[in-house]
Chains A and B, each alone.
Chain A
């Protein structure tokens, strides 16, 4: 499936936005203007953009935790002002400031960010079941990393999705790292997607640094899932340029990742690659690219202003207790 010029423009724009959102989050964490922790997505920004840019509002999405889901959510069209407000403990946050990073946008079918890695897999079966029962073409974009496939839950979800032919896309963003441990050590085969074979599930491996390649694969998978062809596995080979989360050492195993390793992986920086492509095929001019970047920076400035202008959430203990249960 080849992309239209308009699709390429949308993808490129979201890629630039996602990258700049990540840089904003990184900066705010270093400035002490973010609650908790932050897991940068630098170098791994293309898969989420490619997977989510062409989802419908009523498609389910589980964003990858890296970048705290921002790349995925902004690509799906979610206004993330309330996400940054949440991440700064403000009462205008999407979860009223109660959740730190456990965001939730149920109106966009992003139900939960769990603090347990791999806890997207169990509920994704239920999302798929509901989608199939309603038969309105809704699909489930279930994004998570290579490490999450160590969870038995991943295997259970793949098994059940295939048994019931659920419209779930198992979207693995394989950056080869989980905290310090490498996928080479933690997974016995080169491709995580080899797992799909055991469940009779179609699988594809794609260059996760190429947002356009990812989107082509994702669009085909989404179209098949909407037609009721059952689950599919997409594995994106991507990178994690930074340490796991800000403040932890940048190790592979127990030793520092080397400058040579960094130099090597940074040769394929996803925004640079996409920029070269859109200039080469004349999708965009340099002036247009500059304008996209300026617009993204302005958008982010507004997101930050919204969060910063909001009041810190300090409800009474009684009010909180009254919210443990739903009416």
Chain B
């Protein structure tokens, strides 16, 4: 099978869905010129009516998508960097998440939101923060994030065809990661985790760039500790069944999440495992997250971000 990059897989998903459905369009800032590669060149095929650049007006930009979705269209809004979504957070999270439920399930709001996120570029806090935990905290929005090019194409297609708002950021640290991606149409359903590596001693739940880091650690520990790696792929809805099934075998859990330690996705999963799978555990759940400090820029970034060394230490600790 051919191999393409993760960002190339996202672009392929966007282009295929726009060809399939006239109501799909893209709105962002400098997406026509391709500020990130996944939008570069779309303007030539789809034109200015469907590839929209807005002023630096995040509320108006998101509102273009929100209002069009209320009108029955299927917009994709690109925030460029994840932190920029917070500029219009009351619209893109609070108002969007409540729309279907609060208004009596009359209308759904099929908006797809995306953005580059994460550490690795030494850009500091507002350009390096993760946003999936924050969006998962607020009800009514599905949240997913790809770890491989294959998942990227399939998750984006599923998100665009879903009738609900979906936030699907992608991590800049694996933007150029290559992998096998079928040329045909397929979807990776939201809410289905993937066992990326089989193992028997410990389960590592990791996503995005940290999933790739966890795979490297598992290879290194091969023959010493048998590591099972689960990729949640989506945080909302979350596939608890796959995780609990894994814990029946391994009885140990490390959650790796490139987000702050306090109030994040890892905390939620740890608590749910205590509530629903306490008897399966032979050791306390261990988390590898970021300490609660703003993400520093420059060369200090490595102090806060999870990395293979921190993941290995956590695995050894929980298996000791």
Contacts and interface: CB of A to CB of B under 8 A. Distances in A.
Q: Do A and B bind each other?
A: yes
Interface of A: 93-99, 102-104, 106, 111-112, 114, 116, 119, 121-131, 133, 152-153, 156-157, 159-160, 163, 320, 323-327
B24 to A, nearest CB: 12
A126 B102 contact: no
Contact of B59 (A106, A121, A130): A121
A223 B55 CA distance: 28
19 contacts: A94-B104, A95-B102, A104-B104, A112-B95, A112-B103, A119-B91, A122-B66, A126-B63, A128-B67, A130-B73, A131-B71, A153-B59, A153-B60, A153-B63, A156-B63, A160-B61, A324-B139, A324-B140, A326-B108
Contact of A327 (B66, B67, B98, B163): B163
Nearest to B111: A126
A251 to B, nearest CB: 27
Nearest to B236: A325
Task: Classify chain B: how many residues form its interface, as a range.
Answer: 35 or more
B62 interface: yes
A114 B102 CA distance: 11
Nearest to B67: A126
Given A122-B88, A160-B55, A163-B55, A129 B67 contact: yes
A122 B91 contact: yes
Interface in B103-133: 103-108
Contact of B104 (A98, A163, A324): A98
B65 interface: yes
Nearest to A114: B95
Contacts of B107: 104, 106, 111
Contact of B101 (A97, A119, A323): A323
B5 interface: no
B49 interface: yes
A119 B62 CA distance: 12
B100 A325 contact: yes
A157 B63 contact: yes
A156 B62 CA distance: 11
A152 B102 contact: no
Contacts of B71: 126-127, 130-131
A190 B69 CA distance: 37
B198 interface: no
B245 interface: no
Interface string B56-96: 01011111111111111101000000000000101100110
A323 B54 CA distance: 33
A203 B65 CA distance: 27
Contacts of A102: 98, 102-103
A207 to B, nearest CB: 31
Contacts of B98: 102
B70 A326 contact: no
Nearest to A100: B102
A124 B68 contact: no
B103 A99 contact: yes
Which 4 A-B pairs have CB atoms at the shortest separation, nearest pair first?
A: A126-B67, A122-B63, A326-B108, A95-B104
A144 to B, nearest CB: 14
Contact of B60 (A93, A99, A103, A125): A125
Contact of A325 (B67, B70, B75, B140): B140
Contacts of B61: 160
B99 interface: yes
> Which residue, B70, B99, B107, has most C-beta atoms of chain A within 10 A?
B70
A156 B59 contact: yes
Contacts of A159: 55, 57, 60
Given A95-B104, A111-B107, A159-B55, 5 more contacts: A95-B103, A99-B104, A124-B63, A126-B70, A129-B68
B246 interface: no
Contacts of A133: 49, 73
B67 A124 contact: yes
Given A122-B60, A128-B67, A324 B100 contact: yes
Contacts of A323: 100-101, 105
Contact of B67 (A94, A104, A127, A163): A127
B39 interface: no
A326 B105 contact: yes
Interface in B255-304: none
B191 to A, nearest CB: 10
